[in-house]
Amino acid sequence: MKRTCAYCISASKLTREHIIPKFLYELNEKNYVGFNSKANKVIQSEHQIKDVCSICNNERLSLLDSYGKRLYLTNNLEKNYPSNVKIKFKYDYHYLLRFLLKMTYNQSRFSGKFDYLYSDLRNYILHGSDLDKISNLKLFLEICSRYKLNRKDKIYIRNINMDTIFEEGSMREFISHEKFSVGHGLLLNGNNNLITNQLNPSSPNILISYVILNSYFFYILHFHRGLKTKEIDKMLRNELQVVPYSKRLTERNKQATVQVSKRDPFHHSLVKSSYENQRTAWDNYFSSNVFLD
Protein backbone atom coordinates (compact mmCIF):
# COMPACT_ATOMS: atom_id res chain seq x y z
CA MET A 1 0.00 0.00 0.00
CA LYS A 2 1.43 3.35 -1.05
CA ARG A 3 1.95 6.05 1.51
CA THR A 4 0.14 9.35 0.97
CA CYS A 5 1.69 12.73 0.22
CA ALA A 6 1.89 14.98 3.29
CA TYR A 7 0.47 17.87 1.27
CA CYS A 8 -2.12 16.66 -1.26
CA ILE A 9 -2.87 13.36 0.58
CA SER A 10 -2.74 11.41 -2.70
CA ALA A 11 -1.32 7.87 -2.78
CA SER A 12 1.82 8.26 -4.84
CA LYS A 13 5.52 7.57 -5.02
CA LEU A 14 7.10 9.89 -2.50
CA THR A 15 10.16 12.09 -2.97
CA ARG A 16 12.54 13.89 -0.63
CA GLU A 17 11.67 17.44 0.43
CA HIS A 18 14.24 19.73 2.05
CA ILE A 19 13.27 20.99 5.51
CA ILE A 20 15.25 24.16 4.84
CA PRO A 21 15.16 25.00 1.09
CA LYS A 22 18.12 23.86 -0.97
CA PHE A 23 18.84 27.35 -2.28
CA LEU A 24 19.85 28.45 1.23
CA TYR A 25 22.51 25.76 1.33
CA GLU A 26 23.67 26.79 -2.16
CA LEU A 27 23.87 30.48 -1.26
CA ASN A 28 25.89 29.72 1.84
CA GLU A 29 29.23 28.15 0.97
CA LYS A 30 29.85 26.67 4.42
CA ASN A 31 29.49 22.97 5.10
CA TYR A 32 26.35 22.23 7.08
CA VAL A 33 26.22 20.03 10.10
CA GLY A 34 22.93 19.80 11.96
CA PHE A 35 21.41 18.44 15.12
CA ASN A 36 18.79 15.78 14.32
CA SER A 37 16.36 16.00 17.24
CA LYS A 38 14.58 12.81 16.20
CA ALA A 39 17.80 10.76 16.21
CA ASN A 40 19.22 12.83 19.09
CA LYS A 41 22.59 13.17 17.39
CA VAL A 42 24.56 15.45 15.10
CA ILE A 43 24.61 14.62 11.40
CA GLN A 44 26.36 16.11 8.37
CA SER A 45 23.73 16.50 5.67
CA GLU A 46 20.99 18.69 4.26
CA HIS A 47 17.90 17.89 6.33
CA GLN A 48 15.21 16.17 4.23
CA ILE A 49 12.01 14.20 4.72
CA LYS A 50 10.66 11.66 2.22
CA ASP A 51 6.89 12.11 2.30
CA VAL A 52 5.99 14.47 -0.58
CA CYS A 53 4.81 13.46 -4.05
CA SER A 54 6.77 14.64 -7.08
CA ILE A 55 4.02 17.00 -8.29
CA CYS A 56 3.81 18.84 -4.98
CA ASN A 57 7.57 18.82 -4.53
CA ASN A 58 8.73 19.82 -8.00
CA GLU A 59 5.86 22.09 -9.04
CA ARG A 60 3.76 23.57 -6.23
CA LEU A 61 6.32 23.78 -3.44
CA SER A 62 9.09 24.66 -5.88
CA LEU A 63 7.22 27.89 -6.68
CA LEU A 64 7.39 28.85 -3.01
CA ASP A 65 11.11 28.17 -2.90
CA SER A 66 11.57 30.34 -5.99
CA TYR A 67 9.73 33.15 -4.22
CA GLY A 68 11.81 32.58 -1.08
CA LYS A 69 15.03 32.94 -3.07
CA ARG A 70 13.83 36.20 -4.66
CA LEU A 71 12.82 37.48 -1.21
CA TYR A 72 16.22 36.54 0.23
CA LEU A 73 18.21 38.24 -2.53
CA THR A 74 15.95 41.29 -2.96
CA ASN A 75 16.06 42.11 0.74
CA ASN A 76 19.72 41.13 1.17
CA LEU A 77 18.91 38.87 4.11
CA GLU A 78 22.53 37.88 4.64
CA LYS A 79 23.39 41.43 5.73
CA ASN A 80 23.49 42.46 9.40
CA TYR A 81 22.98 45.86 11.02
CA PRO A 82 23.57 47.80 14.24
CA SER A 83 20.53 48.39 16.46
CA ASN A 84 18.02 51.19 15.79
CA VAL A 85 18.69 51.28 12.03
CA LYS A 86 15.48 51.23 10.00
CA ILE A 87 15.29 48.64 7.22
CA LYS A 88 12.75 48.51 4.38
CA PHE A 89 11.54 44.94 3.95
CA LYS A 90 9.68 44.13 0.72
CA TYR A 91 7.34 41.15 0.63
CA ASP A 92 4.20 39.54 -0.74
CA TYR A 93 2.24 38.56 2.36
CA HIS A 94 0.64 35.33 1.17
CA TYR A 95 3.69 34.05 -0.69
CA LEU A 96 5.85 34.84 2.35
CA LEU A 97 3.46 33.20 4.82
CA ARG A 98 3.09 30.10 2.62
CA PHE A 99 6.87 29.86 2.20
CA LEU A 100 7.40 30.06 5.97
CA LEU A 101 4.56 27.63 6.75
CA LYS A 102 6.04 25.14 4.30
CA MET A 103 9.27 25.11 6.29
CA THR A 104 7.60 24.88 9.70
CA TYR A 105 5.23 22.14 8.48
CA ASN A 106 8.21 20.22 7.09
CA GLN A 107 10.00 20.57 10.41
CA SER A 108 6.93 19.42 12.36
CA ARG A 109 6.83 16.17 10.38
CA PHE A 110 10.60 15.74 10.61
CA SER A 111 10.51 16.06 14.40
CA GLY A 112 7.24 14.14 14.79
CA LYS A 113 5.66 17.04 16.70
CA PHE A 114 3.12 19.82 16.12
CA ASP A 115 1.73 18.46 12.82
CA TYR A 116 -1.77 19.03 14.23
CA LEU A 117 -1.19 22.75 13.60
CA TYR A 118 -1.17 22.17 9.83
CA SER A 119 -4.07 19.80 9.16
CA ASP A 120 -6.20 22.67 7.81
CA LEU A 121 -3.34 24.61 6.22
CA ARG A 122 -2.15 22.23 3.50
CA ASN A 123 -4.34 23.71 0.73
CA TYR A 124 -3.30 27.20 1.69
CA ILE A 125 0.39 26.28 1.53
CA LEU A 126 -0.02 24.54 -1.84
CA HIS A 127 -2.48 26.83 -3.60
CA GLY A 128 -3.05 29.94 -1.48
CA SER A 129 -6.68 28.89 -1.04
CA ASP A 130 -8.82 28.39 2.10
CA LEU A 131 -7.98 31.86 3.40
CA ASP A 132 -10.47 31.41 6.24
CA LYS A 133 -8.09 28.81 7.71
CA ILE A 134 -5.37 31.41 8.37
CA SER A 135 -7.51 33.96 10.23
CA ASN A 136 -5.94 32.83 13.51
CA LEU A 137 -2.37 33.27 12.21
CA LYS A 138 -0.39 36.48 12.69
CA LEU A 139 3.04 37.12 11.17
CA PHE A 140 5.84 39.16 12.75
CA LEU A 141 9.42 40.01 11.79
CA GLU A 142 12.31 40.88 14.09
CA ILE A 143 15.70 41.86 12.66
CA CYS A 144 18.30 41.19 15.32
CA SER A 145 21.24 43.56 15.63
CA ARG A 146 24.89 42.71 15.46
CA TYR A 147 26.57 42.67 18.83
CA LYS A 148 29.86 44.01 20.15
CA LEU A 149 31.57 41.33 22.20
CA ASN A 150 32.92 42.09 25.63
CA ARG A 151 35.60 40.07 27.40
CA LYS A 152 33.04 37.93 29.28
CA ASP A 153 31.22 37.07 26.05
CA LYS A 154 34.42 35.99 24.32
CA ILE A 155 35.28 33.69 27.21
CA TYR A 156 31.74 32.23 27.15
CA ILE A 157 31.85 31.60 23.39
CA ARG A 158 35.28 30.00 23.59
CA ASN A 159 34.34 27.77 26.52
CA ILE A 160 31.21 26.31 24.91
CA ASN A 161 32.40 26.28 21.29
CA MET A 162 29.51 28.59 20.39
CA ASP A 163 31.66 30.60 17.96
CA THR A 164 30.63 28.35 15.06
CA ILE A 165 27.11 29.79 15.21
CA PHE A 166 28.36 33.33 14.70
CA GLU A 167 30.52 35.23 12.23
CA GLU A 168 32.87 37.84 13.65
CA GLY A 169 33.25 41.19 11.92
CA SER A 170 36.42 42.44 10.27
CA MET A 171 37.52 44.07 13.53
CA ARG A 172 36.86 40.77 15.36
CA GLU A 173 34.69 42.67 17.80
CA PHE A 174 31.22 42.22 16.39
CA ILE A 175 29.19 39.05 15.88
CA SER A 176 26.03 38.52 13.88
CA HIS A 177 23.74 35.57 13.42
CA GLU A 178 24.82 33.32 10.51
CA LYS A 179 22.54 30.32 10.49
CA PHE A 180 19.10 29.03 9.58
CA SER A 181 16.67 27.53 12.04
CA VAL A 182 13.07 26.29 12.06
CA GLY A 183 11.06 25.35 15.12
CA HIS A 184 8.06 25.73 17.41
CA GLY A 185 7.48 27.11 20.88
CA LEU A 186 4.92 28.44 23.34
CA LEU A 187 4.48 32.10 24.28
CA LEU A 188 3.18 32.47 27.81
CA ASN A 189 0.43 35.05 28.28
CA GLY A 190 1.75 38.02 30.23
CA ASN A 191 5.28 36.75 29.86
CA ASN A 192 7.79 37.19 27.04
CA ASN A 193 9.44 33.82 27.68
CA LEU A 194 9.41 31.22 24.93
CA ILE A 195 9.25 27.55 25.85
CA THR A 196 10.28 25.04 23.17
CA ASN A 197 9.60 21.79 25.01
CA GLN A 198 6.50 19.98 26.27
CA LEU A 199 3.92 21.98 24.34
CA ASN A 200 0.29 21.30 25.16
CA PRO A 201 -2.05 21.48 22.11
CA SER A 202 -5.00 22.42 24.35
CA SER A 203 -3.10 25.22 26.07
CA PRO A 204 -4.82 28.64 26.12
CA ASN A 205 -1.46 30.25 25.51
CA ILE A 206 -0.08 31.20 22.10
CA LEU A 207 1.69 28.59 20.00
CA ILE A 208 4.43 30.00 17.81
CA SER A 209 6.36 28.65 14.85
CA TYR A 210 9.48 30.45 13.77
CA VAL A 211 11.94 30.62 10.89
CA ILE A 212 15.35 32.23 11.36
CA LEU A 213 17.23 33.32 8.25
CA ASN A 214 20.49 34.81 9.50
CA SER A 215 19.51 37.89 11.53
CA TYR A 216 15.90 37.87 10.29
CA PHE A 217 13.58 36.18 12.81
CA PHE A 218 10.10 35.40 11.43
CA TYR A 219 7.41 34.48 13.96
CA ILE A 220 4.03 32.95 13.10
CA LEU A 221 1.60 33.17 16.01
CA HIS A 222 -1.00 30.39 16.05
CA PHE A 223 -3.89 31.65 18.15
CA HIS A 224 -6.46 29.18 19.42
CA ARG A 225 -9.10 28.63 16.74
CA GLY A 226 -11.85 29.24 19.27
CA LEU A 227 -10.80 32.86 19.74
CA LYS A 228 -12.83 35.55 17.99
CA THR A 229 -11.15 38.20 15.86
CA LYS A 230 -11.81 40.88 18.48
CA GLU A 231 -10.16 38.76 21.15
CA ILE A 232 -7.07 38.24 18.99
CA ASP A 233 -6.89 41.95 18.14
CA LYS A 234 -7.09 42.79 21.83
CA MET A 235 -4.14 40.51 22.53
CA LEU A 236 -2.18 42.15 19.70
CA ARG A 237 -2.78 45.78 20.64
CA ASN A 238 0.45 45.90 22.52
CA GLU A 239 2.70 44.02 20.11
CA LEU A 240 5.76 44.29 22.38
CA GLN A 241 3.99 42.11 24.96
CA VAL A 242 3.38 39.40 22.36
CA VAL A 243 6.62 39.39 20.37
CA PRO A 244 9.14 41.93 21.69
CA TYR A 245 11.00 44.20 19.24
CA SER A 246 9.14 42.87 16.21
CA LYS A 247 7.06 44.35 13.40
CA ARG A 248 3.75 42.85 12.38
CA LEU A 249 3.50 42.05 8.65
CA THR A 250 0.05 42.27 7.05
CA GLU A 251 -1.52 41.51 3.68
CA ARG A 252 -2.49 45.16 3.26
CA ASN A 253 1.12 46.15 2.62
CA LYS A 254 3.90 45.19 0.23
CA GLN A 255 6.63 46.81 2.28
CA ALA A 256 7.36 47.32 5.98
CA THR A 257 9.85 49.59 7.69
CA VAL A 258 11.44 47.53 10.44
CA GLN A 259 13.65 49.04 13.12
CA VAL A 260 16.55 46.73 13.90
CA SER A 261 16.01 45.15 17.30
CA LYS A 262 17.94 46.07 20.42
CA ARG A 263 18.04 42.35 21.01
CA ASP A 264 21.10 40.70 19.48
CA PRO A 265 21.24 37.01 18.46
CA PHE A 266 23.94 36.26 21.03
CA HIS A 267 21.42 36.86 23.84
CA HIS A 268 18.30 35.76 21.95
CA SER A 269 16.38 33.02 23.79
CA LEU A 270 15.75 31.03 20.59
CA VAL A 271 19.45 30.81 19.79
CA LYS A 272 20.74 30.13 23.29
CA SER A 273 18.01 27.65 24.27
CA SER A 274 18.47 25.83 20.97
CA TYR A 275 22.15 25.42 21.69
CA GLU A 276 21.74 24.50 25.36
CA ASN A 277 19.14 21.82 24.59
CA GLN A 278 21.60 20.16 22.21
CA ARG A 279 24.81 20.77 24.12
CA THR A 280 25.66 17.13 24.89
CA ALA A 281 25.58 16.14 21.23
CA TRP A 282 27.46 19.22 20.09
CA ASP A 283 30.22 18.63 22.63
CA ASN A 284 31.20 15.67 20.47
CA TYR A 285 30.57 17.19 17.07
CA PHE A 286 30.05 20.96 16.85
CA SER A 287 30.55 22.91 13.62
CA SER A 288 26.98 23.76 12.67
CA ASN A 289 25.01 26.48 11.00
CA VAL A 290 21.66 24.66 11.15
CA PHE A 291 19.51 23.80 14.14
CA LEU A 292 16.20 21.96 14.03
CA ASP A 293 14.48 22.02 17.41
pTM for this prediction = 0.79
Give residue 251's identity as a one-letter amino acid code: E
Q: What is the DSSP letter of 118?
A: G
Report the share of the chain in percent with pLDDT over 70. 63
pLDDT reported for residue 271 = 53
Beta strands in 13-135 (DSSP E): 14-18, 34-36, 41-43, 48-53, 86-90
Query: Would you report the helix, strand and coil content of the chain in percent, each value rounded to 5?
Result: 35, 25, 40
- Distance (Å, whole) CA 260 – CA 263: 8
Q: Residue 17: CA atoms inside 13 Å, Cβ hemisphere, count?
A: 30
* pLDDT confidence tier of residue 191, bands split at 50, 70 and 90: very low
Q: Quick one: average pLDDT of 256-282?
A: 63
What's the chain's average pLDDT?
75
Domain that holds residue 272: 75-292
* pLDDT confidence tier of residue 182, bands split at 50, 70 and 90: confident
- Judge whether residue 193 has pLDDT over 90: no
Q: Tell me, yes or no, whether 173 lies in a domain.
A: yes
Contact predicate 109/125, CB 8 Å: no
* pLDDT confidence tier of residue 287, bands split at 50, 70 and 90: very low
Q: Tell me, yes or no, whether 2 lies in a domain.
A: no
Q: Tell me, yes or no, whether 102 lies in a domain.
A: yes
Q: Tell me, yes or no, whether 4 lies in a domain.
A: no
pLDDT digits (tens, 9 = 90+) for 194-245: 444 444 445 555 788 989 898 899 999 888 777 777 878 777 775 445 576 8
- Distance (Å, whole) CA 1 – CA 210: 35
- Distance (Å, whole) CA 20 – CA 68: 11
Q: From residue 139, how far is each of 52, 54, 86, 149 by CA, in Å?
A: 26, 29, 19, 31
Helix (H, G, I), strand (E, B) or coil at 251: coil
Q: Tell me, yes or no, whether 252 lies in a domain.
A: yes
Element (H, E) at 74: helix 61-74
pLDDT digits (tens, 9 = 90+) for 122-156: 999 999 999 999 988 999 999 988 766 666 666 55
- Distance (Å, whole) CA 6 – CA 99: 16
- Distance (Å, whole) CA 271 – CA 268: 6
Q: Tell me, yes or no, whether 35 lies in a domain.
A: no
Contact predicate 208/185, CB 8 Å: yes
Q: Tell me, yes or no, whether 20 lies in a domain.
A: no
Torsion of CA 153, 156, 158, 163, to 10 degrees: -70
Domain count, the chain: 1
Q: Tell me, yes or no, whether 275 lies in a domain.
A: yes
